[in-house]
Copies of this chain bind each other. A is one copy, B any other.
Amino acid sequence: MASRKTGEFERIATFFAPLAAGFPGALGLTDDAAILRPAEGAELVVTTDTIVAGVHYIGDEPADLVAQKLLRVNLSDLAAKGARPVAYTLNIALPTAVEDDWLERFCAGLAADQQRFGIVLAGGDSVATPGPVTLTITAFGEIAVGRMLRRSGARPGDRIYVSGTIGDGALGLKILRGRLAGIAAVHRDFLVERYRRPQPRVACGARLVGIAHAAMDISDGLVADLAHIADVSGVAAVVEAASVPLSTAAAAALEIDPQLRDAVLGGGDDYELLFTAPPDAAPSIAALAAGLGLPLTAIGRIEAGRGVCAVDAAGAEIALARAGYTHG
């Protein structure tokens, strides 16, 4: 235990303390705890994710990308709650074979995203493992008391919206697994980047407070995540499949293989926002989209009932690959 801890202290001082600079509550990572105090009238939103090498990312993925994906997945959760990012803690379990240059690149990825998204390291833990790299981030955001966006607020009559484009993450993963060999290089690169480095919609999420009835981010896939909103809200969701916004690259992929529509509706890793809002919010949402330069697209409707289904442009139900979600 002594040698593990000695290594830990050196690593903290060398690699992690610089990431905590400028956040008084981190106490320079020299104490056993950090201090978090929400601003007057605000409360803290807490979210946490764990990733494992070989399970959640390919084991030889560059360390800076691994760091940024983990941080961004958490930032995406904060965005979906309408919260402003404040700080995060990091728990790393590393095999002894992991060299300092891996850690250096990992922390460089964090440093770049801390700047980009206005979040800072507050504390953490570093241990050795005989298993794969295992990483946990717990992220803290602030929001005005009682205003956090939830999954549970969808109401019949709401329109369903998504930010950005859908399916890119799942298609990017297929490419990394050797599929879609016929796609143009520019599209391949775009889709892989979308999988590897999601764009948490932090500014958008904060602006949806007071507009959206329910919100979450798309991590498990559009249909599965919409099912979560429908379930906890006690409503049914109808996806108008032709309205689901596709990137140019995703559209090109579907031209090659129309079967990939299942990956678009069912695949995960988009980290776009999924939210519902009443019809009279449409002008506000259009203005928000214009202001952010981010498409916010209506893709369906909330109805009384239970479950999720998808319909085509003629209104006919489309069979979804995941039958568990079709009992609309």
* Known A30-B152, A55-B127, A128-B55; contact A43-B48, beta-carbon cutoff 8 A: no
Shortest beta-carbon distance from A25 to chain B in Å = 8
In the complex, the answer to whether B36 meets A125 with C-beta atoms within 8 Å is: no
In the complex, the answer to whether B132 meets A129 with C-beta atoms within 8 Å is: yes
Q: How many of A's residues come within 8 Å of B, CB to CB?
A: 64
A93 CB contacts on chain B under 8 angstroms: 50, 52, 134
* Known A30-B152, A152-B30; contact A55-B129, beta-carbon cutoff 8 A: yes
In the complex, the answer to whether A127 meets B51 with C-beta atoms within 8 Å is: yes
Q: A residues 265-298 with Cβ under 8 Å of B?
A: 266, 268
What is the count of identical protomers in the complex?
A: 2
Q: A residues 93-145 with Cβ under 8 Å of B?
A: 93, 122-125, 127-132, 134, 136, 138, 140, 145
In the bound complex, how far is the Cα of B5 from the Cα of A50, in angstroms? 13
User: Which of B27, B138, B217 lies in contact with A48, CB distance below 8 A?
Assistant: B138
In the complex, the answer to whether A31 meets B136 with C-beta atoms within 8 Å is: no
Decide if A46 is an interface residue (CB 8 Å cutoff): yes
Decide if A239 is an interface residue (CB 8 Å cutoff): no
- Among listed A76-84, A157-165, A243-251, A309-317, interface-contacting one: A76-84
In the complex, the answer to whether B50 meets A123 with C-beta atoms within 8 Å is: no
* Known A1-B268, A37-B38; contact A46-B131, beta-carbon cutoff 8 A: no
Q: A residues 38-82 with Cβ under 8 Å of B?
A: 38, 43-52, 54-56, 77-78, 80-81
In the complex, the answer to whether B89 meets A48 with C-beta atoms within 8 Å is: yes
Decide if A193 is an interface residue (CB 8 Å cutoff): no
Decide if A11 is an interface residue (CB 8 Å cutoff): no
In the bound complex, how far is the Cα of B50 from the Cα of A52, in angstroms? 14
Closest chain B residue to A150, Cβ basis = B31
A89 CB contacts on chain B under 8 angstroms: 46, 48, 138
In the complex, the answer to whether A5 meets B224 with C-beta atoms within 8 Å is: yes
In the bound complex, how far is the Cα of B86 from the Cα of A168, in angstroms? 40
In the complex, the answer to whether A216 meets B32 with C-beta atoms within 8 Å is: yes
In the bound complex, how far is the Cα of B54 from the Cα of A249, in angstroms? 46
Shortest beta-carbon distance from A39 to chain B in Å = 11
A54 CB contacts on chain B under 8 angstroms: 130
Which A residues fall within an 8 A CB radius of B? Answer: 1-2, 5, 27, 30-38, 43-52, 54-56, 77-78, 80-81, 83, 89, 91-93, 122-125, 127-132, 134, 136, 138, 140, 145, 148, 150-152, 216-217, 220-221, 224, 228, 232, 266, 268, 322
Can you list 21 A-B pairs with a CB-CB distance of less than 8 A?
A1-B268, A2-B266, A27-B150, A27-B152, A30-B228, A31-B216, A32-B77, A33-B81, A33-B83, A34-B45, A34-B47, A35-B148, A37-B38, A37-B44, A44-B44, A46-B89, A46-B140, A50-B92, A50-B125, A91-B138, A125-B136
